[in-house]
Amino acid sequence: MQPEFLIIHQQVATHVAHIQLNRPEALNALNLQLMSELKDALKALDADPQVRAVVLSGNEKAFAAGADITQMAGKSAIDMYNTDQFSTWDAIKKTKKPLIAAVSGFALGGGCELAMLCDMIVASETARFGQPEIKIGVMPGAGGTQRLTRAIGKARAMEMVLTGRFITAEEALAAGLINRVTPVALYLEEAVKLAKEVAVMSPLAVKMAKEAVLKAFDSSLEEGLHFERRNFYLLFASEDQKEGMQAFLEKRAPAFKGE
């Protein structure tokens, strides 16, 4: 079934897919259906051997202005517990291929959390990142207190979470939250360029390297190093390792197949 709130483009030649959040009338507020469609789309792209990297964007005005407040406002704690809306986020987190967020305009609440769930963030100079949940009587619920703190440190995360203050793209860049800032006209192009740069690498090595970097967030150094080493050794079972090293020795560009 065609998703109602997403537009999906796939560039077969470059192995890059692009998912655009498409609920502009509500600044791409992340309702349950949109998140479920996103989970399904990412699962399908993750399983598609033609796809090696995925760009996730909104539109110029908003990446996403957070979870859908209209949908949540009247709910009880038991409704929230039973619906367990963040379980879709757990599924999205399992995406093995690299995800690059292309952010312009608002990335607030769940929108900021969704961008942080991606592996890299390219932002337009109009991007604004924030966790304003405190202003509506709640707090971040999809990773904002954890991923933001790890990305930009306690002092800055605490201020954003406790005051709801937005930060600009330049501030986010200086704080280490995002990878780069571009003029508005170029943010999507720049994100796709970054995705293409990753997509020419060995897809297996990319997936295992992503997995190892993410391991750094929830393991001790010793465990993380052990995990990294196992993935490094494991890659020697791949044809891409043979091809990559042979191509280096023959002074030519490698042709990786993901095998």
Q: Which residues are catalytic?
A: 67, 110, 113, 133
**If you search the block for the tokens 């990412």, which residue do you land on?**
42
Residue 64 main-chain phi, psi, to 5 deg? -170, 135
Question: What CA–CA distance (Å, rounded) separates 116 from 238?
Answer: 30
Q: Which of 17, 37, 104, 132 binds ligand CAA (CB under 6 A)?
A: 132
Q: Quick one: CA torsion of 88, 94, 97, 101, rounded to 10 degrees?
A: 50
* Residue 203 touches ligand CAA, criterion: CB under 6 A: no
Tokens of 214: 């993410």
Q: Which of 67, 99, 167, 178 binds ligand CAA (CB under 6 A)?
A: 67
Tokens of 230: 């196992």
* Residue 21 touches ligand CAA, criterion: CB under 6 A: no
**If you search the block for the tokens 């929830």, which residue do you land on?**
218
Q: Which of 17, 51, 56, 65 binds ligand CAA (CB under 6 A)?
A: 65
We find the least distance from the C-beta atom of residue 2 to ligand CAA, in angstroms, to be 23
We find the least distance from the C-beta atom of residue 202 to ligand CAA, in angstroms, to be 35
Question: What CA–CA distance (Å, rounded) separates 18 from 30?
Answer: 18
**CA-CA-CA-CA torsion sign (123, 173, 177, 221):** positive
Q: Which of 63, 106, 129, 256 binds ligand CAA (CB under 6 A)?
A: 106
* Residue 58 touches ligand CAA, criterion: CB under 6 A: no
Q: Residues 21, 28: contact at Cβ < 8 Å?
A: yes
3-state SS assignment for residue 21: strand
Q: Which of 27, 45, 99, 173 binds ligand CAA (CB under 6 A)?
A: 27
We find the least distance from the C-beta atom of residue 139 to ligand CAA, in angstroms, to be 8
Contacting ligand CAA within 142-201 (CB under 6 A)? 142, 144
Residue numbers at the binding site for ligand CAA (CB under 6 A): 26-27, 29, 65-70, 106, 108-110, 113, 132-133, 136, 140-142, 144
